[in-house]
Structure 1
Amino acid sequence: MLIGTDKKKFYVVGAGLFTGVTVALYPVSVVKTRLQVASKDTLERSALSVVKGLLKTDGIRGLYKGFLTVMTGTIPTRIIFLTALETTKVASLRMLEPFRLSDTTQTAISNGLAGMTSSLLAQAMFVPIDVVSQKLMVQGYSGHTQYTGGLDVARKVLRSDGIRGLYRGFGLSVMTYVPSSAVWWASYGSSKHYLWRILGDNSGEEGTPSLLKIMLVQATGGIIAGATASSITTPLDTIKTRLQVTGLEKKISVKQVVKDLILEDGWKGLYRGLGPRFFSMSAWGTSMILAYEYLKRVCAKDEDV
């Protein structure tokens, strides 16, 4: 578990770094969520119009609807995610050693397994936070209920549906985020490895790669991973979001959500919010991976050789 790493420093510094990234990119999640739940009669159906509408009615605060709820669950969720990620990655590499795969393939598989496992474990804590925060994100938009805060949402959901209500869309959430995380980390690991082959990794020579070169490879890998994952999993994310934010008085099935989306916009309805989601996954992924790789460097223990 996080071998060669100062665990306390890893979690404390990591919490600060990921909080900063969340603050910077949170508005994109609000815009994406609103686009995904918009009805055919909603006037604000582009990212720009959603932003203008939020700024007009609530100011900058409108771009951070549900933010406090998300931050409450983000830190423990990230701890679970990062611990499982590092642990599974090391175990996967050891497991794959006898198969004598190419370095690129081995990296892709181990990263993919690590991303899948860590995301699966994190969902148990993340889904209730996701349900509450998304209801706050869309309140007052396209006819959705108004709430006084995260506790008000949780109280009303529990009163209406019990604990099951806070896990509404859990299956779809797992189906969305687990493959998404697996694809993201597999794409990132393999693309980064491939980029180093093209650029030439001279870490074994006298000079090591410059920090700028390292960051460029990591950032490019993050963008490629974000583009791949968002393209594959956006339809599931759109369905999941609609299912989770449906009014408490309405019971709706996945089949009905798909029918409604296709009826309103054709098959492209399943890709609502693709632009913001692609930007969010690429920007978040790039920022997160730079922070993550930096975190591993600054938290590495000095060991005597």
Structure 2
Amino acid sequence: MEPTSSQTNPTEIDWDKLDKTKFYVVGAGIFSGLTVALYPISVVKTRLQIVTKDSVERNAFSVVRGLLKAEGVPGLYRGFGTVITGAVPARIIFLTALETTKVAAFKMVEPFKLSEATQAAIANGVAGMTASLFAQAVFVPIDVVSQRLMVQGYAGHTSYNGGVDVARKILKSDGIRGFYRGFGLSVMTYSPSSAVWWASYGSSQRVIWRLLGHGTENEDPSPSESTLILVQGAGGIIAGATASCITTPLDTIKTRLQVMGHEKRPTTRQVVRRLIADDGWQGFYRGLGPRFFSMSAWGTSMILAYEFLKRSCTKE
């Protein structure tokens, strides 16, 4: 049991209360729909992170305008087929690891008698980091292939005939290891990002519910649906803002490493030097706007969908 997890968070639903089959099937559909809606933001962010000081497209609006002019709406979905194929198994792995680890983490921190917000931050943070570590094994190869498709033909990058062609060329030049280029940086980027996101979300939920009177003697045992959505949405925005500001520099370096071809592969040090030479230290925050919007929009949409999914899949 998580005796403190539900005291000031009336939306908390434990893993053992969920219908797992329904959770996975319905969840796959919901998160696939979110991916369709938010994918263009990832394309724009990736493009911005690989621009040079001589590039014409140096902001999100010019990137979108260029893609629409050259390819129409399909240009905003470059690499989408590859991503959606890998996103479902990666998401299932992530959610399973997240929920099971969160239960164990709450039990571990309970004896320390910390505040509920602190307990939630630690347990959710540990769960978010662990889930991300497991999911990266599936997602990094998908990320490598999809990002090459996103930037193909742009600023001198190679053009491909779909995801299979990218995979074939990566295997030919680098072998299996090529699919895990930037894996270390991905783990360093996404695992802390996931930890920060879930820690921020978990702790902000407790704080907000406490401010609204839940967990006190005067609490309302059943908050309205609109209150649930507002509180969860606020938590998602806070979490997205915190995580994007902390992890954007590593994400920029990772993206550059993953999209470079075999013949001009840079080292991490060379990527860092090039970024500083082009734009100074602010170069590490290229794509911060789209990344911030992406993490906030994705995080808020995801958590609202996720909480709705958990409520829908609760066992009778």
Same fold (TM over 0.5): yes
The one of 72, 80, 83 equivalent to 1:70 is 83
Q: Give the Cα–Cα distance (whole angstroms) in 2 for the partners of residues 206 and 67 of structure 1.
A: 44
C-alpha displacement at 1:201, in angstroms? 2.2
- Deviation at residue 242 of structure 1 after TM alignment: 0.2
Instruction: Name which of 209, 223, 230 aligns with 1:209.
Output: 223
Residue in 2 aligned with 1:288? Answer: 302
Between the aligned partners of 2:254 and 2:50, the Cα distance in structure 1 is 10
Contact 2:105 2:126 in 1 (8 A): yes
1:202 touches 1:209 (CA, 8 Å); kept in 2? Answer: no
Query: Which residue does the alignment assign to 1:110?
Result: 123
Query: Could you say which residue in structure 2 is the equivalent of 1:10?
Result: 23
Deviations 1:136-179 (A, max 9, x none): 00011111110010000000011001011000000000000000
Q: How many Å separate the matches in 2 of 1:251 and 1:16?
A: 37
SS at match of 1:200: coil
In 1, are the aligned partners of 2:213 and 2:220 still within 8 Å (CA)? no
Partner residue in 1 for 2:187? 174
Structure 1 residues 7 and 92: CA distance shift in structure 2, 3 A: same
The alignment's C-alpha RMSD in Å is: 1.2
User: Residue deviations 1:31-79, cap 9 Å, x none?
Assistant: 0000000111110110000000000000000000000000010000000
Alignment map for 1:1-305 (pairs within 5 Å): 2-201=15-214, 205=219, 208-302=222-316
Cα distance in 2 for partners of 1:123, 1:173 equals 7
Structure 1, unmatched stretches of 5+, are none
1:70/1:129 contact within 8 Å kept: yes
Change (3 A) 1:145 1:206: closer
- The percent identity for this pair of structures is 71
| Cα distance in 1, alignment partners of residues 50 and 265 from structure 2 | 15
Task: Name the CA distance, whole Å, in 2 between partners of 1:160 and 1:76.
Answer: 27
CA distance in 2 between counterparts of 1:187 and 1:292 reads 16
TM-score, length of structure 2 as denominator length: 0.94
Q: Alignment partner of 1:279: what SS? A: helix
User: Greater shift after overlay, 204-213 or 139-148?
Assistant: 204-213
8 Å CA contact retained: 1:219, 1:290:
yes
* Mean CA deviation greater in 261-270 or 206-215: 206-215
Matched residue count: 302
